Structure 1
Amino acid sequence: MKEKLVNAWSKMLEKLESWLDNFIVNLPNILIAVVVFIIVIIISKYLSKLIARLLNRTNLQKSMKNLISKMVSIFIILMGLFLILGILNLSKTLNTILTGAGIAGLAVGLALQGALANTYSGIILSYIKKVKFGDWIESNGFEGEIVDIDLRLVTIKQVDNNLVYLPNKMVIENPIKNYSTTSQSRVILGCGVGYESDLRFVKKLVIDTIVSKFDVVEEKEEVLFLWKEFGDSSINFELRFWIDSTSALEVAKAQSEAVMVIKEIFDENDINIPFPIRTLDFPKKFTLPDS
């Protein structure tokens, strides 16, 4: 037992001595590899900042600019690692790493299909000029302003200031309504007046009121006033006009203001906006029972 321990101890010492010899022999290469690694880190940071500055002059979205600058930095670091492995005479290790990376990459790709789909969709969104920061959009049942687009999520700020995080894949695969693609928006409002009203007078009164109260975009078309139907209690109309706005919130504010000014002008001219009523027709001989 004692001899076995002595033999084991001597073998361990021999192994340590060989490692020490190899370390001393390769010490110049190790120092060079450390210097190369430091230089690579510095170059990657410098090139990343330089690429970011150059991309700021382009029309690419912020998320795409960050992605490209990070990819350049990662590429430089990977090239530096390959160079360091060559300096240290670890070419066989490099082949082993590449083989393992291929197998691991396949396994990770299968496990992260959803995440990779969102990343790919984020890259596509970064190139789409019709969907960008500050746009007011409606997608997947949510409406609001785009405040961020990254490689995983599109962040929307709603009217109530709450944030909605939509996976990029859902935004790409579903319809998007962008209120900001044009410089104007149309305001649509419905209302009704009593059957005793002068319809031509009502039409002129509403149009004149809207033109005087709002900065209507005249080059689009005049204020459009359409009588729609004979309702149960009123004759209903629809009002349409354009305003200089791309925000759904501003459209809602314009609708609210239009309701107020139309109600005020109707009150001033004794025009009735009837509410649903029900008329009961009793027989002539009908009498109420004594209470």
Structure 2
Amino acid sequence: MYLYQDNKEVFNVTDSVTGIWDKMAGWVDKLILNLPNFILAILVMIFFVFIAKLVVKFVRRLMRKSNASSSIIDISVSFVKIIIIAVGFFIALGVLDLNKVLTSVLAGAGVVGLAIGLALQGTLHNTFSGIILSFRSELEVGDWIESNDFAGEVQEVNLRNVVIKQSDNNLVIIPNIKIVENPFKNLSSTSRSRVILDCRVGYESDLEEVEKITLHVIENIFDQKENEKVEFAYTKFGKSSIKFVVRFWTDVSKQRDILFAKHKAILAIRKSFNENSIQIPFPIKTLDFGKNKLSSETIHINSKTDSDSSKEE
């Protein structure tokens, strides 16, 4: 490439072009020689992708027969697919006789994985929490849950978060780690639930009669099954009323069921109390300004004097 003339280095274009051509010719030769292996590697990848699709369908069908939740099925299928394709990738590298490259890839993947793990600790926590949630029967898509001061129907459980739809139709995304580390209530896990309703009556009321009427009203509206009953108890002497609580069982799968159960109970109790002249008082505040704090004045008008002065005018 370089010639020396008078102890000076001179660039030779012909030699440079010849060198580049030789390298390209060597690459073409290697490509032709390795073309069968390259085609075989592609066929291996296509084969493993096809196998992954078949296995995924089989696993999905098998898990559906076992009544597994949709979130468990999706995550399990994703893992199976990734593992099969990864095996096919490594076999394709072996077919290309890239063992050194394979070793480098594995070593690099280990270093990169460590770096990513340190940088994404929170994300990995959510990922592992998502795996845990997916295999827990206490939380499934369609359930109504209360957690982290939010309540709604579970729309999705993925590897990062849980998506719930609130009663106002807004979506709330809660990180999986928050669900795993904090308590949550699942209203859909049981078909029946106890509804607690607070109420009060005036001090002039017959308390035994109030209890009898309330129990009769609730028992007529809500059927109580075996080992279930309506419970009534006075709880407190208030400033203007006596407070009581009534508890009864009803079918509940979401917060809306509790809301309208209370609605029906309040309408029926209020109607029955009116029919029986039972008052539900409300707090009354009396403002006392004190007897000695106000003074009155008496104004005397001399009508005669006023009339005389008017005449003079």
**TM bracket (short chain):** over 0.9
Report the alpha carbon displacement of residue 261 of structure 1 after superposing the two structures with TM: 1.1
Q: How does 1:179-190 map to 2 (within 5 A)?
A: 179-190=187-198
The AA in structure 1 aligned to 2:175 is P
Does the aligned pair in 1 maintain the 2:71–2:140 contact within 8 Å?
no
Does the aligned pair in 2 maintain the 1:226–1:239 contact within 8 Å?
yes
In structure 1, the residue matched to 2:200 is 192
Cα separation, 2, equivalents of 1:11 and 1:264: 102
Percent identity of the aligned residues? 46
Does the aligned pair in 2 maintain the 1:64–1:126 contact within 8 Å?
yes
Gaps of 5+ in 2: 3-9, 299-313
Report the alpha carbon displacement of residue 37 of structure 1 after superposing the two structures with TM: 2.2
Structure 1 residues 3 and 229: CA distance shift in structure 2, 3 A? closer
The AA in structure 1 aligned to 2:271 is E
Cα separation, 2, equivalents of 1:72 and 1:283: 83
Q: Is 1:32 matched with 2:43?
A: no
Q: Is 1:173 matched with 2:181?
A: yes
The AA in structure 2 aligned to 1:272 is Q
Report the alpha carbon displacement of residue 280 of structure 1 after superposing the two structures with TM: 6.5
Cα displacement string for residues 205-231 of structure 1 (whole angstroms, at most 9, x for unaligned residues): 11111111222x242332111112221
Q: 2:256 aligns with which of 249, 252, 255?
A: 249
How high is the TM-score relative to the length of structure 1?
0.92
In structure 1, the residue matched to 2:244 is 237
In structure 2, the residue matched to 1:109 is 117
Cα separation, 2, equivalents of 1:70 and 1:135: 23
In structure 1, the residue matched to 2:304 is none
Cα separation, 1, equivalents of 2:251 and 2:65: 29
Structure 1 residues 290 and 222: CA distance shift in structure 2, 3 A? farther
In structure 1, the residue matched to 2:308 is none
Root-mean-square deviation (Å): 2.2
In structure 2, the residue matched to 1:64 is 72
In structure 2, the residue matched to 1:275 is 282
Cα separation, 2, equivalents of 1:44 and 1:282: 86
Cα separation, 1, equivalents of 2:92 and 2:269: 77
Report the alpha carbon displacement of residue 278 of structure 1 after superposing the two structures with TM: 3.7
Report the alpha carbon displacement of residue 100 of structure 1 after superposing the two structures with TM: 0.9
SS in 2 for 1:56: helix
Does the aligned pair in 1 maintain the 2:222–2:249 contact within 8 Å?
no
Cα displacement string for residues 102-127 of structure 1 (whole angstroms, at most 9, x for unaligned residues): 11111111111111111100000011
Structure 1 residues 200 and 36: CA distance shift in structure 2, 3 A? same
The AA in structure 1 aligned to 2:234 is W
Does the aligned pair in 1 maintain the 2:75–2:134 contact within 8 Å?
no
Q: 1:52 aligns with which of 56, 60, 64?
A: 60
SS in 1 for 2:40: helix
Does the aligned pair in 1 maintain the 2:196–2:247 contact within 8 Å?
yes
Report the alpha carbon displacement of residue 40 of structure 1 after superposing the two structures with TM: 1.9
Please say which of residues 16-25 and 174-183 is displaced more in the overlay.
174-183
In structure 1, the residue matched to 2:162 is 154
Cα separation, 1, equivalents of 2:49 and 2:288: 91
In structure 2, the residue matched to 1:119 is 127
Cα displacement string for residues 83-113 of structure 1 (whole angstroms, at most 9, x for unaligned residues): 2212211111111111111111111111111
In structure 2, the residue matched to 1:86 is 94
The AA in structure 1 aligned to 2:14 is V
In structure 1, the residue matched to 2:23 is 15
Does the aligned pair in 1 maintain the 2:143–2:153 contact within 8 Å?
yes
Does the aligned pair in 2 maintain the 1:184–1:245 contact within 8 Å?
yes
Cα displacement string for residues 33-68 of structure 1 (whole angstroms, at most 9, x for unaligned residues): 222222222112221222111121224322221222
Structure 1 residues 284 and 162: CA distance shift in structure 2, 3 A? closer
Cα separation, 2, equivalents of 1:119 and 1:196: 61
Does the aligned pair in 1 maintain the 2:203–2:242 contact within 8 Å?
yes
Q: Is 1:99 matched with 2:146?
A: no
Does the aligned pair in 1 maintain the 2:144–2:153 contact within 8 Å?
yes
Gaps of 5+ in 1: none
The AA in structure 1 aligned to 2:61 is R
Higher gyration radius (CA): 2
Cα separation, 2, equivalents of 1:285 and 1:23: 113
The AA in structure 2 aligned to 1:237 is F
The AA in structure 1 aligned to 2:56 is S
